[in-house]
Structures are given as C-alpha cells and as structure tokens.
Amino acid sequence: MATTVKSDIPATVWQVKVAVGDRVEADQELVVLESMKMEIPVVAPRAGTVSKLHVAENDRVSEGDPIADLD
C-alpha cells in the first residue's frame, strides 16, 4: 500500500535527497524544505521504496502538498 508524504508547511524545496527507486528507512530524510531561512527536513514515516517524487529543487509547496510516494 502506497503512502504519500506531504508538506507540513508552505516552503521552498531546498534539497531532494532521494530518487525514484531508492529504498529508504523510517525517519530517513527525503527532502529538505526552506522557510524563513530555516531548514526543515521531511522524513519517511516508514521504510519503503520511493515510487514517485512530486517535487524538484526550488519548487514551492503549500501545506498538505504531496512530496513523495512510498511503496
């Protein structure tokens, strides 16, 4: 069952740390967001494989926007 990881805040995607097909562990950083000069890591809620990335570096995201899908 797929899990969609979403943004908790409006921000800019500063770094994408994974690629589609990467195996990730629970609490591993997927992307780093930047808001008001603060870096906010977005982590995997569980272990899985990245099946889709919804963002790229420098994209703007709003609260609730999808970041990545994990299978």
Query: Which candidate, 37, 39, 31, 36, places its Cα nearest to that of 7?
Result: 31
pLDDT for 20 equals: 98
Q: What sign results for the dihedral spanned by CA atoms 46, 55, 8, 34?
A: positive
Query: Which candidate, 18, 19, 37, 20, places its Cα nearest to that of 29?
Result: 18
**Domains of the chain as residue ranges with CATH:** 8-58 (2.40.50.100)
pLDDT for 1 equals: 76
Q: Average pLDDT for consecutive 10-residue bins of the chain (71 residues)?
A: 94 98 98 96 98 98 98 96
pTM over 0.85: yes
Beta-carbon-side half-sphere exposure of residue 62 (alpha carbons within 13 Å): 0
Task: Report yes or no: 43 and 29 within 8 Å, Cβ to Cβ.
Answer: yes
Kindly state the tokens that stand for 31.
Answer: 């992307």
